[in-house]
Amino acid sequence: MQRSPIQHCRNCGAAVSYRLPDDGDTKLRAVCPACHTVHYENPLNVVGTVPVWGDTGEQVLLCKRNIEPRKGKWTLPAGFMELNETTAEGAARETDEEAGAQFEMGPIFTLMNVARVGQVHFYYRARLLSTQFNPGTETMEAQLFTEAEIPWDEIAFRTVKETLEHYFADRRSGQFGFHTLDIA
């Protein structure tokens, strides 16, 4: 995360100033006085999965975070989308990196805007193919939970809690949908 103000031009290193660009833009941007580059800052995408196990998807895989923020709290496998991948590819990569799970990707399940922090979160359903996990260094442990076992007070992020709640509600209803939410 780098959300502190831009101080220097990425092209030439000169100190920038925040002002309206000359192209009619109505927002203050970091503009370089030397090479005239206008620097834009844009939202980040977070991509992850809801990996489930069992004939009716009764267990969900959560990862105990080994890094800040929210170290020691439980999360679905997720992280920042990278260049040169799709949202689904990024979600699969994070599931591999954080849980070391074997799985098949399913459809997109939640799309959540967290405008306050400039993020959009995408969660895909995924079907686990084994219960052997090999978590990476960002995860203390990876564990399956039924709905009754989910540590609701120890969930790392609001977007994860919302996604889990929608997952179990849809599972009870017998029909999985696609859910869009704005998180204040």
Give the binding site for a second copy (CB under 8 A). 2, 4, 6-15, 24, 27, 37, 39-45, 80-89, 107-108, 111, 113, 115-116, 118, 120, 137, 178, 180, 182
Nearer Cβ to a second copy (144/183): 183
Nearer Cβ to a second copy (71/151): 71
In the complex, the smallest distance separating the C-beta of residue 166 from a second copy, rounded to whole angstroms, is: 15
In the complex, the smallest distance separating the C-beta of residue 27 from a second copy, rounded to whole angstroms, is: 7
Contacts of 60 (CB under 8 A, 6+ apart): 50, 51, 52, 53, 76, 144, 145, 150, 164, 167
In the complex, the smallest distance separating the C-beta of residue 140 from a second copy, rounded to whole angstroms, is: 15
Six-digit token string for 13: 């290193």
Contacts of 165 (CB under 8 A, 6+ apart): none
CA angle, corner 73, sides to 178 and 116, nearest 5?
55
Nearer Cβ to a second copy (72/118): 118
DSSP designation for 164: H
